[in-house]
Amino acid sequence: MLPEADTAEIVFGPLRCTKCHASFPVAEGVVDLVVEREAPSGLQRGLERPWVARSYERYLRPAVTLALSRRRFDRESEYLLYRSLLGTPTAPVLDLCCGTALFARRLAREPNMPTVIALDVSKAMIEEAVAQAREANATVDFVRAEAPLLPFADEALGAILQAGSLHFIADADRLFGEIARVLRPGGRYVATSYLPPRFGAGLHHRAGLYPRSEAELRGALTDVGLVGFERMVMPPFLLVKAEKPRRERHTVH
């Protein structure tokens, strides 16, 4: 993907795909790669409403977390847990399905952090995320795109955080294939989902939610070649971590 004009920083003006020549708008620094998509349904439809995006971080997220886990898990503790698992990235870090990009903003404040990119499919969430990043003076690059496809070159990313949103992805196998492709060797993937309910999985699917068990996630992440699977169960949430294997060093004698 290249800018149509010869410029180092793109604030307005399209990006053009060097392969298919399709053009994608950039407005106020946000590149929008969602050209055509099915109308959102289930819970996602709500997450695309501006008033939901505006109240998400302050009211909705804390209320949902408290209701589901029945305990307060303060945001800084949650961030520190993710941060400790992401390692020391040496290439851009992606906040995948970022919502209002609360964790991208926090990552961007870390010293020696490479570029932080925040990606979400919801226009309303991205708009709110941009406004909050501006207010916090945080330097974050925003992309509107729809997972499971990830619009990054092979081995371009140093780490990927997908907080509270793995269960929104219907095709996790495809997403994990993309994660294995775009991560650099040694790059880590950290995600949270919620555990499948004992009954009524169909209802969750109808709401556009796909909770998965530890065994399913471990199997799917291993199948795409990621290693070092670890997990933490914080009912009803499940945190998983895996990483792209480092290349073996061959010494010549």
Q: Which residues are at the interface with ligand SAM (CB under 6 A)? A: 44, 47, 61, 97-99, 102, 120-122, 125, 146-147, 163-165, 168-169
Which tokens is 13 given? 């003006």
Backbone angles phi, psi at 6, to 5 degrees: -80, 90
Which lies closer to ligand SAM via its Cβ, residue 178 or residue 243? Answer: 178
Residue 251 beta carbon to ligand SAM: minimum distance, rounded to whole angstroms:
42
Q: Which is nearer to ligand SAM, 148 or 186 (CB)?
A: 148
The CA-atom distances, in angstroms, between 242 and each of 143, 221, 231 are 24, 7, 9
Q: C-beta of 99: minimal distance to ligand SAM in Å?
A: 3
Q: Are 91 and 249 in contact (CB under 8 A)?
A: no
Query: CB nearest ligand SAM: which residue?
Result: 99
| Shortest CB 121 distance to ligand SAM, Å | 4
- Nearest approach, Cβ of residue 43 and ligand SAM (Å): 8
Of 184, 179, 193, residue with least CA distance to 238:
193
What is the full DSSP assignment across 75-123?
HHHHHHHHHHHH---SS-EEEET-TTTHHHHHHHTSTT---EEEEES-H
Residue 104 or 180 having the CB closest to ligand SAM? 104
Pick 120 or 178: Cβ nearer ligand SAM: 120
Shortest reach from residue 14's CB to ligand SAM, in Å: 21
Nearer to ligand SAM, 56 or 243 (CB): 56
The DSSP string of 68-87 is HHSS---HHHHHHHHHHHH-
Give the pair of three-digit tokens for residue 76.
């800084």
